[in-house]
Amino acid sequence: MQPHAHKMQTQEPWEGFCSVEHGQLWYRVHPGPANRPPVIVLHGGPGCPSTYLHSLSALADFTTVVFYDQLGCGRSTSDVPMSALTLDSFTADLQVLLDTLRIKSFVLLGHSFGGLLALHHQRCFPHTASALLLASPLVATSDWMADMAVLTGALPEPYADDLNKPQEDPAYVAAEAQFYRTYFCHLQPWPPELQVAVEQLAASPAYHLMWGPTEFTQTGNLEGADCSGVLRTLRCPVLFTCGSADEARPETLRRYADMCERGQLKVFEGGTHCVHLEQPDEFLQVIREFFGHDSAIQWITSV
């Protein structure tokens, strides 16, 4: 057994690096009770490092929680070739991390882009996850962009029209800020862990190469990405979460949840894309309830 496999049995958080094809993945493990599958947290962006999700380490009171930074951001290798910044490459990296940590039974918790990564992993490695927690997920680029058209159009005037102006125009800058205040995070100012992550996102090649310049402008290699078909193949419990004023619209997530054999949806009233920071206690409680729900007992107790 590898040395880091022994560490999975310790009680103190620990971190390390995992070698993948195009660099080193940084990861951090928060050990918890061993009678439940660990939760592997997949951050968004692409290119938004995991720091803004580290409050989810509180879940270690009932299971192990693993964070990592995808290539191109955070503490993982930042200078990587373009071929490393694809959905397929990120999926392969995730599987290498699981193999390195000798994790066979696991739950994937994907936020935003992390939801697409979780689903694509299950497309490539079917039925390996014990459950999926998809928080404000990107599932299909076409659906996301359709929702962006609805959300930008719903902004009060003059913001909706101003988003059509050149990005260097002060009116556009103000409208973009209004969009993020409305749908990304209500908190003012943003929590430090979110502010730092978003600043690093802006400097990461992953976001611009894979997605584009803004949440509502898609120009990258995720064009055409669609994992909605994976939903009908899932046999494990699947929990979707979002805020009522989320970039990932509740109406769209309801349709996704209905496509799953064991899908559920929780909408946090008044929340946005970062509802885990806006309503942290409520968010954690919903996840704990999902772990304890009757429909999930089989996979919780049989690992």
Residues in a beta bridge with 24: 19
Our answer to whether residue 294 is catalytic in this structure is no
- CA quadruple 44, 50, 206, 96: dihedral sign: negative
The Cα 140–Cα 153 span in angstroms is 20
Catalytic residue among 50, 112, 136, 204: 112
The Cα 106–Cα 64 span in angstroms is 10
Residues sharing a CB contact under 8 Å with residue 184, sequence separation 6 or more, in sequence order = 215, 247, 272, 273, 274
Our answer to whether residue 112 is catalytic in this structure is yes
Catalytic residue among 69, 93, 147, 246: 246
Our answer to whether residue 246 is catalytic in this structure is yes
Catalytic residue among 22, 43, 273, 276: 273
Q: Where are the alpha helices (DSSP H) in the chain?
A: 3-7, 87-100, 113-124, 141-154, 159-162, 170-183, 192-203, 205-206, 228-231, 250-259, 275-278, 280-292, 297-301
Interhelix angle 87-100/113-124, nearest 10 degrees: 70
The Cα 162–Cα 301 span in angstroms is 53
Catalytically active residues, by annotation: 112, 246, 273
